[in-house]
Structure 1
Amino acid sequence: MTRRLLSLLALGYSLSLASPTQAVRAPKVTELLKFPNATRIENFNVLPNGHLLVTTLSSSDVFTVDPDAPSPQPEKVVTLEGSKLLFGVTPLANGLYAISGGAASAIPNRYEDSKIHIISLASKSAIDSISVPDVEFLNGLVTLPKRPHVILGADSFGGRIVRIDTHTRETTIAWAHESLGWGTNSTGFQLGVNGIRIRDGYLYFSNARLGTFSRIRIDDDGKIIGKPKVIAYLPGLEDGAHLFDDFDFDREGNAYVTAHPSSLVKITPGGKLTTVVGGDGTTTLSAPTSAGFAKDGRTLYVTSMTAQVVKVVFPW
């Protein structure tokens, strides 16, 4: 092998090491709008047409937002009678969506009268309401991929996963475990399991107060298999202000998790945690609550308790 060839090979090797670092670019972050009246946005779902279906803690109104509009604005779809505030939202079959709702209780930071509301976007109406008894706070929701009429719900105060069959109206406790509770911490908001998603046969869940991001295997019917595994811990949770909230996955299986007070973090399948947007002392995000990818796989929307709808575009 000639000296010149060796030099070229060495140069190629050094470029291959340098390229990944040189290719790393920050995402473009844009605040699309703020809901009026300091609306506390809780959750949303990206609809097939690219619009966002949004729930809030400020009322029982459900909204849509067209993020591609020249000046995006919330449009009310339906008011859900029987609930004072709304939480999780997940798609069912045939253009229907399930939304968890409830009412504030006399105990601070507690809720009662948990319900699953079924809405039709085609008719812009509520078509059913299912009471979920013996649940302390029904928060995040997810639909079973092979049972699109069955959903799992996160009981954030009770430390449980609830199974709701929207056809039979049967509600059962699918799983209760210490990894879903809020432990013995006495400071901050005492909230356990929060966001939940299903991916490749696993139920992934964030725990706000424990600061954990975990998963456990489930079957097609929502039955829990095996033991939970913690994938990552949120730094700084000891002060009660650093809390995991809702999340979504990119196509590579990385989770993008909203984290109070002001961060969007990326968690790789191997558990590496990095801050993608915001961070302590920043104002780009303020009390972020939920994240969801658009169909293009590179646009991520983030909502917040301070009325924000933020668009994050990754340079992939």
Structure 2
Amino acid sequence: MKLKSFAIFGTFLCTSRVTLAKSAVLDQTSLIYEFPNNTWVENIAARNNGELLLSIVGTPQLFTIDPSAPSPRQPVLIHEFTDSLDVFGIAEYQTDRFAVLTGNFSFETGDLGLGSWAVWSVDLNGVKISIVNEEPTLSSTPKVAKIADIPPAQILDGLSLLSQKQQTLLIGDLSAGVIYRLDIESGDVATVLNETFTAAVPIPHFAPSGVGGLHVRNGELFFSNVGQQKLFKVPIDEDGTPSGPVTVVASGLSTLDGYDDFTFDCAGNIFVTTGGGNSIEMICRW
């Protein structure tokens, strides 16, 4: 569901809490920046220097912002992908080198942008936010290069590093309901998961949706299914293929809770966005 506005909040995720009510608000929470109405910030990634990367759907731009900077903070444009309409998933695959998903999905027409989806490399080594004439800007120009086109893709959304040693990524296709493996060096693409748990199903006010966010953690692949409103996990081999059964980690608390992107805290608890539920739910470590 498209958000009418988007605000970024900072919070301390390494917490001793074991439960979080849906209506509760975390302590140590502060507003970092609020985007204008009708902005959809799709994905957030943290750099080693503390700056955040932000991808935008409906505008093919990748931004960065420093949450530690004094107010009023302002996002700084890293790169505009001029041949695309959207920027989706972000994942760090080497130190300060990030893979980014782009494509031509259109909310206005519902067109999926078939044939437009690609994975890019954004190298931010040596790049940081600097203040020039009291305005934030980049200290140098990032190196941006295309890694690969993904011809069969429908809507690429989730993205995770599979193996730093082998330089492979896992990519979730929200509309096709599959997960791909991408070899960064060769550009080769293969399907590693395509079954009931990843499949897209109809949801209100949006295209049929399947795999949303995904993360590889301790030999397991965690992935959300927006339409099925569930978070799953499956043990995987080094090539990303399943080595055991898929199991349900959690289901949404309401019919609006289309689980999408998520992250882990230091204790292994999961914080997941709920789309139409307009909330963040905490899934306690099992």
Assess, with a 3 A threshold, how the Cα gap between structure 1 residues 58 and 186 changes in structure 2: closer, same or farther.
closer
| Residue 248 of structure 2 is aligned to residue 245 of structure 1 | no
**Alignment equivalent of 2:110, drawn from 99, 103, 108:** 108
TM-score of the superposed pair, with normalisation by structure 1: 0.72
Aligned position for 1:254? 269
Q: Please tell me the residue identity of whatever aligns with 1:166.
A: I
> Kindly, what percent of the aligned residue pairs are identical?
27
Aligned position for 2:123? 120
Q: Distance in 2 between matches of 1:61 and 1:205?
A: 25
Aligned position for 1:210? 228
Aligned position for 1:266? 282
Aligned position for 2:59? 59
Q: Which has the larger radius of gyration?
A: 1
CA contact (8 A) 1:147 1:220 kept: no
Q: Distance in 2 between matches of 1:111 and 1:58?
A: 12
Partner secondary structure for residue 197 of structure 2: helix
Aligned position for 2:34? 34
**Mapping of residues 192-207 of structure 1, within 5 Å:** 192-207=210-225
| 1:237-277 CA-partner distances (Å, limit 9, x unpaired) | 2xxx431110111121111111123211111233xxxxxxx
The structure where helix makes up a greater share of residues is 1
**Mapping of residues 136-151 of structure 1, within 5 Å:** 136-147=154-165, 149-151=167-169
Assess, with a 3 A threshold, how the Cα gap between structure 1 residues 258 and 219 changes in structure 2: closer, same or farther.
same
CA contact (8 A) 1:92 1:148 kept: no
| Residue 75 of structure 2 is aligned to residue 74 of structure 1 | yes
Assess, with a 3 A threshold, how the Cα gap between structure 1 residues 25 and 95 changes in structure 2: closer, same or farther.
closer
**Mapping of residues 128-139 of structure 1, within 5 Å:** 128-139=146-157
Q: How many residues matched?
A: 245
- Greater relative contact order, per chain length (Cα 8 Å cut-off, separation 6+): 1
C-alpha displacement of 1:38? 3.8
Aligned position for 1:307? none
| Residue 241 of structure 2 is aligned to residue 223 of structure 1 | yes
C-alpha displacement of 1:125? 2.9
Where does the alignment leave 5 or more consecutive residues of structure 1 unmatched? 1-19, 271-316
Aligned position for 2:173? 155
C-alpha displacement of 1:80? 1.9
- The RMSD of aligned alpha carbons is 2.3
Q: Distance in 2 between matches of 1:265 and 1:109?
A: 31
Assess, with a 3 A threshold, how the Cα gap between structure 1 residues 56 and 100 changes in structure 2: closer, same or farther.
same
Assess, with a 3 A threshold, how the Cα gap between structure 1 residues 163 and 55 changes in structure 2: closer, same or farther.
same
C-alpha displacement of 1:82? 2.4
Assess, with a 3 A threshold, how the Cα gap between structure 1 residues 187 and 63 changes in structure 2: closer, same or farther.
closer
Partner secondary structure for residue 56 of structure 1: strand
TM-score of the superposed pair, with normalisation by structure 2: 0.79
- Runs of 4 or more above 6 Å deviation: none
